Structures are given as C-alpha cells and as structure tokens.
Structure 1
Amino acid sequence: MKYQVMYDKGTRLRVRSGQWAFTKEEGYGLASLLLENDFIHEVYTSHRNGSILIYYDDVENKNKIFKILNSITLDDLFEAEPTQLQVSKEITDDFLLKLAKMFGRRIFGRIFYPAPLKVFLTFMHASKFLWEGFDSLTSFRVDVALLDGAAVAGALWMGDYGPATSMMFLLSISEALEDYTVQKAKSTLKDSLALNIDTVWLVEDDGTERQCPAIDVQKGDKVKIHMGDVIPVDGKVVDGDGMVNEASMTGEPLAVHKRPGKTVHAGTVIEEGNIIVEVYSINKETRLNKIVDLIENSEELKADAQSQAERLADSIVPYSFLATAVTYLLTGNATRALSVLMVDFSCAIKLTTPLSIISAMREASDNRMMVKGGKFLEKYATADTIVFDKTGTLTNASPKVVHVFPMTKRYTREDILRMAACIEEHFAHSIATAIVKHAEEEGIKHEEDHSEVEYIVAHGIATTYDDKRVVIGSRHFLFDDEGIRINKTQEKKIKKEVQEHSVVYMAIDGKLEGLICIDDPVRDEAKYVIEELKELGIENVIMLTGDSESAAKSSAKTLGITQYRSQVLPEDKSRIVEELKAEGKTVIMVGDGINDSPALAAADVSVSMKHSSDIAREVADISLLSDDLHDLVTLRKLSTGMFDKINTNYRRIVAVNGTLLVLGALGIITPTTSSFVHNLSTMLFGALSTKSVLGDDYNNEIEVKAIEVADAE
C-alpha cells in the first residue's frame, strides 16, 4: 500500500492513500484487518481521501504498524460492516460537515451575493417553512410548524428579510442538531441490542461439530446451541430438547419448552438443555433485527419527560398567537406584534429535553453503562426501592469451600468431597467451581463413575453414582422436592456447624450424607454503595438470597441492610418484585444470574452486572460494563442530574423568552433583535443540554473513594 504520513504523535497515527484507494466498505474491511493486531485498539477510515486513522497502545509498536501497512495489497482488501465506533464517528463527522457547509454558504452569501439574489434565495428558503405551516393550518394543527411558518411569513410581509433569514438559518441548525442526536440515539440502541456473537458450533452432515465464524453461517446450516448460550439465528429445532427464555423477544419471563419442529429466534437464550437448529434467517433478516428496526421508529423507549416536553411545546403555541394578537390590538403596531411572534417558547423546550436525555445516555455509555432507552434512565432516577440478588451482585461470585461435614459413618469427609467434585465439574456455576477447586487443592482425585448428570436450574444436580442415586443442591431441593429424610441429630449438627454459611447438601439413596459449607464474602465497596444510594433518595434496600436464614442475616448485617429474604427461589424473586410494585413502589432490580431473569423482567427498571449470564444481559434494561458497584451510584447521580438539567432549562427558557416577549410588546426591541436573541438562546440552551452531568473530576472522585474503601477494609 502506498501512503503518506499526515500525523504522527504519541500513539495516534494518520496516513493518507488518496481518493480512490478504497471504497467505503473496503475501508471497514481494512479497519477490521488492522484491528486483528492486539496493540491496535481503534481504526477509522475515510474513503473520500483514503485516510486511515490508527490509535495504538505503545509508541514502540509504530514500526510494526508501518510494516503491516506496507504489506497490504489490493488482494487483501475486502468489504465489511462498520463497527459501532465507526458508525458513531461517521454520524458525528457528517453532522460537522453539514454544519460547516451551512455556515460557509451563509458567510459567502452575505459577502458576495447581490441584494436581489439574497431576496430571491430568502423566499426560496422560506418556501419550506411556509409550506409546513400551511400544512398544519389546513390540518387544523396549532403546532410549532405553524408558529414558525407564521413568523417567517410575517417578516417577509413586512419586508424584514434580515430577521427572516437569520431565523430560518438558526431553525435549520436546530433541525440538524436534533437529527444528529436522534441518529446517535438510534445507533446506541442498536448496539445495545446487538448479539455480538463471533463464533458458532456448526454441525456437519456426518454429525461432527466444528467452530466457525458466525458471519460464515448460511441458510440451511445446522448450528448447535449449548445451555446458557444466546441463540444467534432464527431457525427450527431439528434435534435436542431445551427450555428457551424468550423475554428479549416476547417480554414473557418464563422459559418455553423447545423440541424438534419448534421455532427459535435470535437473541433468545437457552436456559436448560442443548439443541441443534436448522438456520432459517441470519444477520439482518432475523426477527431480532426486525424488532430493532421497529424500535428505532417507535415511541416506546422515549422517556416520559421527553413526551411531556413535546406536548407542552405544542400546547404553548396557541398562547404565542394570542400574545401576538393582543399586542397588535392594544398597540396597532405590526412591528411590535411581529417581535412577539418571533418569540417561541416551544422550540427551545422541544429541543433541549431530548438533548438532555440523549446526552445523559451517552454519558452513561462513556462511564461503561449501556442504557437501552431514555425511559429506563428516567425510572432509575425516580425509583425509591432497589432489590439486590446477593450472589454475584453484592458478593464477588468467587465462593470458597470452608468446611466439609460427613453426616454418617458410611462416608468420610474425603468421600463426600470426591463425589461432589466428580459431579460438579460438569457445570460452570461458581459454587461448582469452588468445590472442584477445593478438591484439587487437597489433592483429592476423582474419576468419572456416574451416569449422565441432570441439572435442575436454581435447585441442584441429580445423577447415578456407583449405582446409587445422588442429589446435590439446596435445602429446599433435597428436603422438599426430593423428600430426603433428616433426623434430629443431623438437624442439631446442621444448626451448630453451619451458622452463617451457605450450604450445599448431598444425599445418597434417599439419605443425607454430607454438607459442604460455602462462603462468598461481600464486595468491599458494597456497604458504602448502599449507604450512598440511601443518601440519594432510595428509601428501601432489599437483599434476596437462596442462603439459609443465618447466612442471609450475617450478610445483611455486614452490609447494613435491614430488609432481606432468605431461601428465596427464582419464582419467589419475581413475586416479591411484583408485590413491591403493587404497594406503589418504583423498583430497581439488580441481578446477574439465569434465575434472576424473571425478577429482572418484572421490575420497573432492571440492571445486570458485568459478568452476568447472557439471559440477564438480554432481559436487563441497563447493563453495567464494569465490575464495580459504584456504577449504581454513578447512574443515580447521572439520572437525577438529567432531571435537574431539564428543570433548569425550563426556568431559563421561560426567563429569556418571557423577557423578549415583554420587550417586544413594549417596542423596546425590534423583530430582528427578538428573533436573533431567541434563536441564539435556543442554540445556547441546546449546547448546555449536552454538557456533562457528572463533570470531568467525577472519575477522580470515584478512584479516591475506592482507595478510601480499601484502606478502611
């Protein structure tokens, strides 16, 4: 590849290959080719001038980049889809280019165009506003379009071409700004719902499986999906049996049984079992992508504050006409009346509110939080109750085995641990991992000596070991579901030995044979985060856990939580959330596991943690992309700050435009001044609406607080 270095400083490099070096789609392919190198983390291309902008990790890697660029040939170019970062940058670049053209044309026209041409172009530009106003009038709509059309018509009728031109110019900028924010919002939403699946397991005709890139999957191929995975395609089940959670598609939190002949959709998650799916639709043809397109054009994800602002904006318009009419009747002065007509409260209200919401969503993204719609940010700001699932949310999800107790003389402590590790190694659950790891640390080796293991979601495991039925799991699973018997001596030992621990029970042939005590210490920052959330207006903090009463009580005491529920089943979690909502509370649910998905779906607004299961991330309205509970506090400050900004905008808009209205009616200012100040203030309020809520120093404050928490521990 031939290129010229245009910028080279630090870890940022820009080269240019010329206008016809590659097409737009080939530029995306070139970017993906460069991003295959670990030390390159961002690449942006421009087909207009063949520019390639590269961000990399270390200046020592610069020569490696030049070697890669030098080795690229025409045969290496291929067409590809843009990444989210590339799409976002292109939207911003197109907006800035459009803005530059608008200012360039205006400056050039004012300097070089003769007066007759300026008047002609003014009428040409005005035709758009006049037509939109006429359309509203004939449709009996008294809205912002009618007000803008009337103001432009009034200025032209009086021969005030300067005010008319200025007003139309500023209105055009406002429209461009609004289009830009809408496109950015849609782009963010699309990315939050994207599957982002790189590889799939393809089943060959001879039954063998091989891993292949998801982009290579074709219609008619057969794909195997394992338990806990997101389904990447639309298709028909041809083999296997499973329970599929379709909450992301239907909103229904309960899993649906899928057997051969049944249809599954991309974006849903298989909770139990394994299935083989024959592919019907891929990529943009899937039902999920059709839903994304529908969401882009719907009002469902719009915040109530934005909808209210739009209704308020249109409701103010009749009063603007009334004020104009009254001014003319009282003064008989058309100039004063036009000065009043130039003042439009609704324009600023309609612009600044969505800008404030979109800006807050973008700031959330910058702080490693993905919000799927403005209404969820709004609900988070007004919530008075937060419900935490304990494991993986308030804890680090890195449990450790602290005790192993045999309950009879038939099996030793080593026997219990050996059998448990042998059975649990088939599952990636954190408790199963802890048991297997503990057996390894003690040098206890185990062999496959059991039949197929049956996993019962959120309850436990059942299998046949050495020709005996073995069940491992929660107290509820063993004693209530399996009917395992327990004598008074064993009950007394349990109460004595396992206080303040989570317990995994093991029964063999219907008899309780062992206990494995697990500790999962709470996160260092959890207590301080809960205190801060209370200070920020969340009145009720509730912890839900499947732990025993004693273990739950100990954790709650450590965290400073007064409300908790122990030995909670998955179906109980969603029921508890529904009960809280029935009491009139606005509920945030924070969880991370497969068994949290019903409760996440039931809450007013739900939050998933970084290492959440696929299904939790799909169901959740907000996803945390870092593993820090402080993000919950950040999100609360961000969402409440968004409302403060909206209310501040309202006060400023009323103050400025109210003053202009009075000054215009008194004849103190001309229509030109009224229009200029009004439109300039609207743009200023719009710019202020994009200002950060948290401020540049917020992350530094978080880091200081994290150090303080660590020191306190």
Structure 2
Amino acid sequence: MVKIQQFFAKYRQLIVTLMTVLLALAEAARWLGQMTVGYQVVMIIVGIIGLIPILLTAISSLQVRLVSIDVLVSIAVIGAFIIGEYNEAAIVTWLFMLGEVLEEITLRKTRSAVKQLDDLAPQTASVIDSDGTTHQEDVDFLDPGMHVLIRTGSQVPVDGRVLTGTALVNEASITGESRMVHKQVGDEVFAGTILENGTITVNTTAAGDNTTFGKIIELVDEAQDSQTKTQRFIDKFSQYYTPFVLLVAVLVGIITRDLRLAITVMVLGCPGALVIGVPASTVAGIGNGARRGILFKGSNVMDTLRHVDTVAFDKTGTLTVGRPTVQTLLVLKGDRQTIIDQAVAIERLANHPLAQAITNLKPRQELHPTNLQTIKGQGLRAQIAQQEFLIGNRNLVSDVITNNTKLNHELNRITHAGNSVVIFASADHTELAIFGIQDQLRPQAALALQQLKQLGVTRLIMLTGDNQNTARKIADDLPIDEFHAGMLPADKADFIKEEQTKGHQLAFVGDGINDSPALSVADVAVAMGSGTDVAMDVSDLVLVKSNLNSLVASFQLASQTIKNMNENILIALLTVLLLFVGLFVGYIEMASGMLIHELSILIVIFNSMRLIKYLPKLDSYQFLSPNNNLE
C-alpha cells in the first residue's frame, strides 16, 4: 500500500492532468454525440482513479485512529458510486486531487523565502594544503583551524578570521544589508556571504551546520515546524470536528432517508481550509522574518510577542552600539604603561564590551595571565608573574575602596561624567587605576523605542549593571519609563520574575552571557545577533542585524501573522456555514459544493502568501528588502 501511495504522490500532477483530459472528453462526447453510456464509463474510470489515493490515505489515517478529511471524501465517493451518481464521484475526486496539487504549488511558494536561504548555503571550499596548493573540499568535512582561500566573486564557505589579504564582502545573507563591508587581517567573515572584491585566506572557526549561517537555517526550519496555540487548538478541533461531521451526515441520512443528501453533507463539511490556513500563515510569516534577519524560534513566539506589554533592555550592546572606548585612565598607584599592559592581557580573556574597550589600548609588551577566575557580575581575578590582580567593578575591589577617600572621590567624579568605571588593582595594593569608559547610543534607538510604544508596549525599562549616573545619562536621552542600575545578572532575572507575578507579559532584550539568566525567564527572550552564543541559544527571537528597528519589525510581523491566521480561520468557517445554508435551501450540490470548498482552500493560501511581501512600517528608517540597508 505504501508503494502505491508513493506512486500517486510522485505522479499526482500527471494523474490530475489525465483526469482533466478524460473529463473534458466525456463532456464533449455527452454534448456532441449523446454518448450517454460512454460518458458514464469515463466518469467511472475518473472516479476510480481519483478514489484510490484518497482511499489509501483514509485507511492510513484510520490505522492511527484519526478520522481525516480523506475519510469523509472516501465515504462520500463510495456512496455516490452506490447510488449511481458516477459523474458526482468523478468530479468530487477530481476537485479534491486538483486542490491538493494547487495547495502543493502555492505552499511551495510560501516556503520560497526559506528555500532562498537553503540555496545560499555554501557547499565546498578551497582548502590550502601544507605545501601551498589548494583542493576543493566539502564544507561538512572541514575542521576548525583549516585555512581556506577565497577569491573575488566567490562565496565565503566558512566562519573564520582573515589571515592574509583584504576584501569587500557583501553580508546581506547574514545581516540583511547589502552594503559592502571592508575586511582585513583579524576581521571575522561569515559563511554564506559573498566576496565582491579582493582575495583573502581565512582561518576556519566553524563550518557546515555550525556556522552562523547554518544556525540561521536550522532556527528557521525548527520554527516552521512549531505551532502557535491557535494552530494546536485548530488541530485538536479538527480531530473532533471531522467525526462530528460524519455523525451529522449519518443522522441526516436516517432522518431524511436521503442518502444523496447525507453524502453531500460529508463532502461539504470537510475542514480543509481550516486545517491548512494556520500553518500556511506560520510558514509565510517566519519566512518573511528570516529574509529580513528576524529569526523567530517558533510560531508560538509570535503569539506571545503580541501580548507583551513591557520590554526590558540591557544597556550595553543593546541600547548602545556595544563598542565602548576608554575616555579616561586615571592611575592612582603604579606605572601607567605597565598597568595598561597588565589590564589588556587580562581583559583579552573576557568578552564583555567594557573589556573590549580596554583591549583596544596599545600594550607595550605581551603578557600571559594564569589562574583566570571569572567572578559573576563583578569582574576577573588573574595572576601575572606570580602577582595577583583584580579588574572589575566596585564590588570586586570593595576592600580597596573602603576608607580610600581619594579613590571614592575620583570614582564619583568619573561616573558623574557619564562614564562606566572599571577598577584595576593589584592584590598587594601597589597598583591602582580607574578606567572611565563610555559607549554611544544606537542611532535608531530613540525612534525605535517610540514606535514600540505606538505598537502597544506600555513600559520600557532599562536594566544594567552599570552605575547610576551612567544609566541615568542613557535613560535621559531615550523614552525610557524607568531604569535600574547596579544590577547583577541574578538581579535582572529576579526583577523580571517579580514583574511577571504582577501580571505583566515581559520581553527582555540582551546580548551577553550575563544576560542569559534574564533571557531564560522572560516571556519572550530577544538576543542581538552580535551577542554571545549563550544569549542566542536561550533566546526566543534573534535579531541577526543588531538593530532595534528589527525589534519594531518583529512586533509588527508577529501581529500581522496572527491577524492573517485569524482571517484564514474566519474564511474557512464562513465557507462551511454558507455551504450548509446553500445545501439546505437547495442552491448547492455535491460537485458545486466541493468546488467552493477547494476554492476556499486556495483563498486562505493566497491570503497567507500576502505575508511574504509584507513590509513592516518603520518611520524614518525604511525597512526595504532583504537586500537593502536596514538602517
């Protein structure tokens, strides 16, 4: 039976074409030659051809205790044969098969956005051998550390860092923005991007499914297989609805003693549009987001995002660009350059944006710290040449600050200027310095936050581990409703839990390891694509282009997708209602009802396809297409 099903599935379009030709010939013979017997014979043949795949699917459904649409149609067609309505049987099976073919074609179109991602995935790479020659290798067989040669016009096959050469790279497939990005030695490149000009060699850090691009495809595929609460309800509803229609048809037959009417009830009661409408919207909405660098990790995220009334932001790398610079270095004890050398060496082992600001300073010598210890929410402890050093916030060096009037005065002065402070101190107190670091607001932050409020978000909150003065300076420049400074990672998570107990639906936007506790408890966890793997792993929504406009677009796209689902449900239910009304007043028959039923399926699919072209409305920063600048 399985092989027969596979045969009909493989040649479905050809079979429908054959059925269409036979029906046309039968009608022509009937009207031109009055060949009634030949007409009936052809109709029987068409009916049997169409019934076989439908009946086999129905049997498979019943084997798993599911009364599917195919069961209803099979019973109806067999009943039509019994009462001698061969033309009805033929037309119903033809329409049902034709509907499946058209569904397959149109659903394939809704998945086109995701297919574009799959087609962009690199397949091979030019690997540089030890003797300097190159050979082509499948990307799935590449390991970290391998060197890859990439020339003008080629696709970057791996994630990695540039070893030699310079190039202009189009990163539209990763960021959604087609602006050329200049790459030089030490810069990161990503699989799936296009090298428009130049030649570079790259040290591989990830290949195949482990690349940034591979993870994007994986996330989108997983999201399309997920279900919203609405879809789960519809699926469960269909399990009970179909047997209910079958029962109603039996009762109608018993009461009216009209077998034809009972069979027609089965055909018209098929919930095809109801079943297909919700997943079609899901696929189209998620595909639209994927093309624009907005990765929903499931359609249920869209459902939840619609009800969010509070959005909390981490500050660094989220509201700000995440590339802070050292504005002030005040040395209280020790040699300035020596402290820079030591601080840079230790902070190179960290990934916090404030650490990156310090590593951008120029060291005089290369040092190699040992016994590195990360103290969560405070900073780092390490040894250099048997001497212990601390670098972090006030809590880490509280014993140094205590009773140190000058240090406290300078800390207050630097923080009042809007700087974040990092304190460097040796364990023996012979070296002491303050780094004053500032970050810049994202250029679109203020406008994006205003638009979130227009979309129904009632509260915007900033949660930061930074000091009160720096936090206030940022909050004053943005439409932030409230801010909380000096928060440890656990404090952010506790704050979110507390807000949830008050009945708020809360989204949290972050980008770092320290944000993971808050992300894990939020109703919707949003990670910036420039953030850490940990943040993206625990998130529900990833903004590949770390752009707050993408967050606004996420809210709009989620709302539009759920609205589209509801439209499809309404179309499906109204169609069934109108068909039954038409049936009982005498305007609808089995074949015409089946035609309307199949048309309703196509209508909900075409309605879903509108989401593929949906364009989020962003005020000054127009969100054009996946190949246009997002900013």
User: Could you state the TM-score of these two structures normalised by the residue count of structure 2?
Assistant: 0.71
Q: Which residue is 1:431 aligned to?
A: 354
Of stretches 151-160 and 342-351 in structure 1, the one that deviates more from structure 2 is 151-160
Structure 2 unaligned residues grouped into runs of 5+: 1-7, 27-37, 131-136, 147-158, 160-206, 625-630
- Residues 332, 691 of structure 1: alpha-carbon distance in 2 compared, 3 angstrom cutoff: same
Per the TM alignment, residue 430 of structure 1 is displaced from its structure 2 partner at its CA by 3.2
Q: Which residue is 1:664 aligned to?
A: 583
- Residues 125, 466 of structure 1: alpha-carbon distance in 2 compared, 3 angstrom cutoff: closer
Alpha-carbon distance in 2 for matches of 1:173, 1:495: 75
- Listed as ranges, the matches of 1:573-612 within 5 Å are 573-612=492-531
Give the CA RMSD over aligned residues: 4.5
Secondary structure at the aligned position of 2:396 is classed as: helix
1:105 counterpart (2, 10, 18):
18
- Residues 366, 166 of structure 1: alpha-carbon distance in 2 compared, 3 angstrom cutoff: farther
2:372 counterpart (454, 466, 471):
454
Q: Which residue is 1:391 aligned to?
A: 316
Deviations 1:164-223 (A, max 9, x none): 33433343355457678599879969989x999999x9xx9xxxxxxx9864469xx999
Alpha-carbon distance in 2 for matches of 1:615, 1:433: 18
Q: Which residue is 2:5 aligned to?
A: none
Per the TM alignment, residue 385 of structure 1 is displaced from its structure 2 partner at its CA by 2.9
Alpha-carbon distance in 1 for matches of 2:142, 2:325: 41
Alpha-carbon distance in 2 for matches of 1:517, 1:152: 80
Secondary structure at the aligned position of 1:517 is classed as: strand
Deviations 1:447-498 (A, max 9, x none): 235643725265323334576432111222222xx77644234323322332
* 8 A Cα contact 1:163 1:675, kept in partner: no
Secondary structure at the aligned position of 2:614 is classed as: coil
One-letter identity of the residue aligned with 1:508: S
2:300 counterpart (339, 351, 375):
375
Alpha-carbon distance in 2 for matches of 1:144, 1:504: 66
2:486 counterpart (567, 570, 591):
567
Say yes or no: does 1:493 pair with 2:418: no
* 8 A Cα contact 1:454 1:463, kept in partner: yes
- Residues 214, 643 of structure 1: alpha-carbon distance in 2 compared, 3 angstrom cutoff: closer
Q: Which residue is 1:3 aligned to?
A: none
User: Could you state the TM-score of these two structures normalised by the residue count of structure 1?
Assistant: 0.64
One-letter identity of the residue aligned with 1:504: V
Secondary structure at the aligned position of 1:623 is classed as: strand
Alpha-carbon distance in 1 for matches of 2:500, 2:254: 54
- Residues 300, 106 of structure 1: alpha-carbon distance in 2 compared, 3 angstrom cutoff: closer
Deviations 1:70-95 (A, max 9, x none): xxxxxxxxxxxxxxxxxxxxxxxxx9
Alpha-carbon distance in 2 for matches of 1:214, 1:675: 50
Per the TM alignment, residue 642 of structure 1 is displaced from its structure 2 partner at its CA by 1.3
Alpha-carbon distance in 1 for matches of 2:260, 2:606: 30
Q: Which residue is 1:312 aligned to?
A: 237
- Residues 158, 367 of structure 1: alpha-carbon distance in 2 compared, 3 angstrom cutoff: farther
* 8 A Cα contact 1:401 1:435, kept in partner: yes
Deviations 1:530-582 (A, max 9, x none): 22222222333332211012211222222222233222223333343344444
Secondary structure at the aligned position of 1:524 is classed as: coil
- Residues 564, 350 of structure 1: alpha-carbon distance in 2 compared, 3 angstrom cutoff: same
- Residues 395, 111 of structure 1: alpha-carbon distance in 2 compared, 3 angstrom cutoff: same
Q: Which residue is 1:4 aligned to?
A: none
Q: Which residue is 1:358 aligned to?
A: 283
Alpha-carbon distance in 1 for matches of 2:492, 2:241: 45
Secondary structure at the aligned position of 2:477 is classed as: helix
Say yes or no: does 1:470 pair with 2:389: yes
Alpha-carbon distance in 1 for matches of 2:526, 2:532: 12
* 8 A Cα contact 1:337 1:665, kept in partner: no
* 8 A Cα contact 2:321 2:442, kept in partner: yes
- Listed as ranges, the matches of 1:341-352 within 5 Å are 341-344=266-269, 346-352=271-277
- Residues 685, 296 of structure 1: alpha-carbon distance in 2 compared, 3 angstrom cutoff: closer
Alpha-carbon distance in 2 for matches of 1:189, 1:458: 42
Q: Which residue is 1:85 aligned to?
A: none
* 8 A Cα contact 1:470 1:508, kept in partner: yes
Alpha-carbon distance in 1 for matches of 2:584, 2:396: 78
Alpha-carbon distance in 1 for matches of 2:461, 2:115: 30
Alpha-carbon distance in 2 for matches of 1:466, 1:142: 75
Q: Which residue is 1:679 aligned to?
A: 598
- Residues 142, 525 of structure 1: alpha-carbon distance in 2 compared, 3 angstrom cutoff: same
Alpha-carbon distance in 1 for matches of 2:534, 2:123: 14
Structure 1 unaligned residues grouped into runs of 5+: 1-94, 205-211, 224-231, 233-281, 707-712
Secondary structure at the aligned position of 1:475 is classed as: coil
One-letter identity of the residue aligned with 2:285: A
1:405 counterpart (313, 318, 330):
330
* 8 A Cα contact 1:453 1:461, kept in partner: no
Say yes or no: does 1:540 pair with 2:459: yes
- Residues 158, 532 of structure 1: alpha-carbon distance in 2 compared, 3 angstrom cutoff: farther
One-letter identity of the residue aligned with 2:405: K
- Residues 702, 528 of structure 1: alpha-carbon distance in 2 compared, 3 angstrom cutoff: closer
Per the TM alignment, residue 347 of structure 1 is displaced from its structure 2 partner at its CA by 1.6
Alpha-carbon distance in 2 for matches of 1:506, 1:583: 41
Deviations 1:606-625 (A, max 9, x none): 22212122232333232222
- Residues 527, 694 of structure 1: alpha-carbon distance in 2 compared, 3 angstrom cutoff: farther
Deviations 1:492-546 (A, max 9, x none): 3322332232111111235472211111122121122222222222333332211
* 8 A Cα contact 1:339 1:661, kept in partner: no
Alpha-carbon distance in 2 for matches of 1:575, 1:433: 28
Secondary structure at the aligned position of 1:692 is classed as: helix
Of stretches 534-543 and 131-140 in structure 1, the one that deviates more from structure 2 is 131-140
Alpha-carbon distance in 1 for matches of 2:488, 2:403: 21
- Residues 151, 387 of structure 1: alpha-carbon distance in 2 compared, 3 angstrom cutoff: farther
One-letter identity of the residue aligned with 1:640: S
Identity rate of aligned residues, in percent?
Answer: 23
Alpha-carbon distance in 1 for matches of 2:66, 2:348: 68
Deviations 1:138-178 (A, max 9, x none): 88755534322232233333333344334333433554576
Deviations 1:584-643 (A, max 9, x none): 433323221122233333333322212122232333232222232111111111111111
Q: Which has the higher contact order (CA 8 A, sep 6+)?
A: 2
* 8 A Cα contact 2:325 2:438, kept in partner: yes
Say yes or no: does 1:616 pair with 2:535: yes
Q: Which residue is 1:626 aligned to?
A: 545
* 8 A Cα contact 1:345 1:653, kept in partner: no
- Residues 197, 375 of structure 1: alpha-carbon distance in 2 compared, 3 angstrom cutoff: farther
Secondary structure at the aligned position of 1:476 is classed as: coil
One-letter identity of the residue aligned with 1:498: T
Per the TM alignment, residue 349 of structure 1 is displaced from its structure 2 partner at its CA by 0.7
Per the TM alignment, residue 644 of structure 1 is displaced from its structure 2 partner at its CA by 1.0
- Residues 466, 307 of structure 1: alpha-carbon distance in 2 compared, 3 angstrom cutoff: closer
One-letter identity of the residue aligned with 1:552: A
One-letter identity of the residue aligned with 1:106: M
1:506 counterpart (424, 429, 440):
424
One-letter identity of the residue aligned with 1:493: E
Alpha-carbon distance in 2 for matches of 1:675, 1:367: 39
One-letter identity of the residue aligned with 2:419: H
